[in-house]
Structure formats: structure tokens, C-alpha cells
Amino acid sequence: MAQLKYKDSIYPVTTGSSVLETLLEHGQAIPNNCRAGACHSCLMQATSGNVPDAAQKGLKDSHKARDFFLACVCKPEEDMEVCLPDIEQLKFPAKVSQITKLSNDVVELKIKTQQPVDYFAGQFVTLWRDDELGRNYSLASLPGVDDELIFHIRLIPNGQFTSWVANELKVGDEIFVQEPVGDCFYTQGNPEQNLLLIGTGTGLAPLFGIFRDAIQSGHSGEIHLFHGGLNPSGLYLHDMLSAFAEQHSNFYYHPCVLKAEEGMAKNIVEGDLSKIVSQLIDKPAGWKSYLCGDPEIVKKLRKQIFMAGSNMNDIYSDPFVYT
Ligand SMILES: Cc1cc2nc3c(=O)[nH]c(=O)nc-3n(C[C@H](O)[C@H](O)[C@H](O)COP(=O)(O)OP(=O)(O)OC[C@H]3O[C@@H](n4cnc5c(N)ncnc54)[C@H](O)[C@@H]3O)c2cc1C
């Protein structure tokens, strides 16, 4: 059985257990969220012992070189000594410049950093309230166009982070940002490829940056954006997206709801999002897809698009997993 050294204690790692599970079981406070290797909240550093490859999947080369790893998916194969990285090296301060309501339960948060941030539209960061509470949010902003980092945050009743955003955070306050990560972004080099963008709820946020990046880069293939909500009020930015579609001949906006309402806009379609997608885009082979938002819907769509002929390497996704 491998042994795990953390601070001054040594813990046995039960076969199949992760570093995160082991440390939490022993009452250690390790920041974490998705527990699936997606959100990077549980980033740790090994000071001795080999880090399994799976625990470094998706990390930057510079982080791999410094033996950073994701504790939730790190199942030690040999004795390891680990520590929390000096998070101050990875975080930078920003000032809240604007908080705007986009719908009943979605706010747009704009923050300004002192130094320019290097990122691709569609990546995500961890926003930290303090040393202990951090959550992932996708970037809706476009580098070089938007001066600030922009987020669409859905307010979850009694949610720790989002209640703080809703009730306490004010313009001028300081917030900490952990560097952008993720591979859900537009890549140049294939401007004629059709793009399929599907988001539920605030899953629109990364897509909002991705399609603007594509259009700005001169993408000539079709760009189809499906935005799913429970009802029409969930389709925030509806008017802006409808207008954008009128202005760009290769951009198609498909707002969809599970439950229609009388008097809703004419372009909104009622029904199951995955069925609406498969009816309109029945042969996605050769397309590039971006799927973001509700984890179950993202998983279902990933499988559906793959089964319909798309190459798995052309399917990018950010499921908004939560604890
Ligand atoms: C890669 C990634 C990107 C993300 N990007 C965004 C984004 O751009 N915008 C955004 O709004 N969120 C995004 N999220 C989700 C976000 O990180 C938080 O999980 C969410 O805001 C809830 O945080 P909280 O602290 O307020 O709630 P918590 O205190 O963590 O949870 C409170 C309760 O609500 C439940 N809960 C939490 N989230 C949800 C949910 N989405 N639906 C239903 N129940 C929930 C929890 O299970 C818990 O019972 C993203 C997540 C990931 C992994």
C-alpha cells in the first residue's frame, strides 16, 4: 500500500483511492470541486515520488515540469510526498468593474486585472472569494476586443460562491483569479469547417467568446449556436444573439426551450435540445463541436454527435460539474 506524506503526517492510501480522498478522509482541508479532473481546484504539487500521467492530464507543460498534479484523479502507485502549491504564484488580483443582471438568475460579472491576461476565448478560470472558496467560471470575453474578463454567472439558491456574488460583491471589490485553463476554444487553420456550438444555461458563456473569435478570425464555414433553457426567460442575450445572426450570414442562432410560453419570440423552438440538434444537424461528420453546461446533457450530446459520425477529436466540451 502506498504511503502519502502531507505536512508532518503519513497516511496509507487504500487501493484505488485518490490523494484527494485520502487527505479529506483524514480531515485535511484541500480545495476541491468537481472531483473528476476537470475543474483544477485541487491542484497540488509532489515534492517526492512519481506522479501518475493521468493526474497531469490537461495541465500546462510548465506545471507538469514542476510536478503539479490534480489530487482528485491522482491514485498513487508509489509513496508520495505532496503539498499545496503556493497558490499566490498562480493567482492574480482583479477589481470588479461591473455587475449586470442578464436575466432573473444570471449576472454578468466584469473584472479588470492590472496586467493583461493571456487566454483563449472559451477557456475557464477559478475565481476565488478568499483562500478557501474558489469556483470555475468560463470566460465569455474575447481577448483583444474586450478590455475586461467577462463571466456569466448563474445564481444558485444558497450556493456558497454565487450567493456571495449576488449579495456581497460590489464594483471596486478585489477578487482573485487563477490562470485560464481548458481546451474549449477556437483554433485557426480550418476556416471552412462547420462549427456546432451547444450550451445550456450559462453554458452560453464560453460559446459567446468562441463564436465571436471565429467570426473575427474570418471563419467562413457555418457556425450554429444552440442555446437551451428550461423556459424563454433562461435564454438570456436572446435579442443580441438574434441580431448577431441577422448581421452575419454564416452564423445561425437556435434558441430552444423545454417549456414554451405564450408570446415568446418566434425563433424559439420548444422541445428536447438533443432532438432539435439531431433534426437540424443530422450529419456532423467533419464538423467541430463545442458542448458546454449541464454535465448530463453535455455527456449525452457528446455521444450523440460521435454516433452521428463526428470524430471524437473534433468534439470539445466543458461540463459544468459541481460538487
Ligand atoms: C469548467 C467549469 C466551468 C464553469 N463555468 C461556469 C460558468 O461560466 N457560469 C456558471 O454559472 N457556472 C459555471 N460553472 C459552475 C460553477 O463552477 C459553480 O459550480 C456554480 O456557480 C455553483 O457554485 P456555488 O458555490 O454557488 O454553489 P455550491 O455551494 O457549490 O452548491 C450549492 C448547491 O447547489 C448545487 N449546485 C451547484 N451548481 C449547480 C448547478 N449548476 N445546477 C444545479 N445545482 C447546482 C450543489 O450541488 C449544492 O447542492 C462551471 C463549472 C466548471 C467545472
DSSP code per residue over 152-181: EEEPPTT-HHHHHHHHT--TT-EEEEEEEE
CA 132 to chain centre: 20
Q: Which tens digits make up the pLDDT trace of 109-118?
A: 999 998 889 9
**Nearest residue CA, atom 17 of ligand 1?**
136
User: Of residues 323 and 51, which shows the higher confidence score?
Assistant: 51
What is 3-85's CATH number? 3.10.20.30
Q: Which tens digits make up the pLDDT trace of 219-259?
A: 999 999 999 999 999 999 999 999 999 999 999 999 999 99
Close Cβ partners of 321 (under 8 Å, ≥ 6 residues apart): 33, 34, 35, 36, 38, 39, 295
Lowest mean pLDDT among 137-146, 301-310, 314-323: 314-323
Q: Which tens digits make up the pLDDT trace of 188-224?
A: 999 999 999 999 999 999 999 999 999 999 999 999 9
Distance 216 CA to ligand 1 centre (A): 30
* Res 88 pLDDT > 80: no
**Torsion angle, alpha carbons of 119, 40, 172, 170, to 10:** 130
Domain with CATH 2.40.30.10 in the chain: 88-181
Q: The pTM is what? A: 0.89
Distance 106 CA to ligand 1 centre (A): 12
CB atoms within 10 A of CB 98: 13
* Res 87 pLDDT > 80: no
Distance 164 CA to ligand 1 centre (A): 13
User: Where residue 39 falls among pLDDT bands split at 50, 70, 90?
Assistant: confident
Domain with CATH 3.40.50.80 in the chain: 195-319
Q: Are 207 and 291 in contact (CB under 8 A)?
A: no
What is 88-181's CATH number? 2.40.30.10
Residues of the chain with pLDDT > 90, as a percent, come to: 85
Pick the CATH number of 195-319 from 3.40.50.300, 3.40.1190.20, 3.30.300.130, 3.40.50.80: 3.40.50.80
Ligand 1 atom closest to residue 161's alpha carbon, by position in its atom list:
25
Residues 293 and 297: their CA atoms lie apart, in Å, by: 8
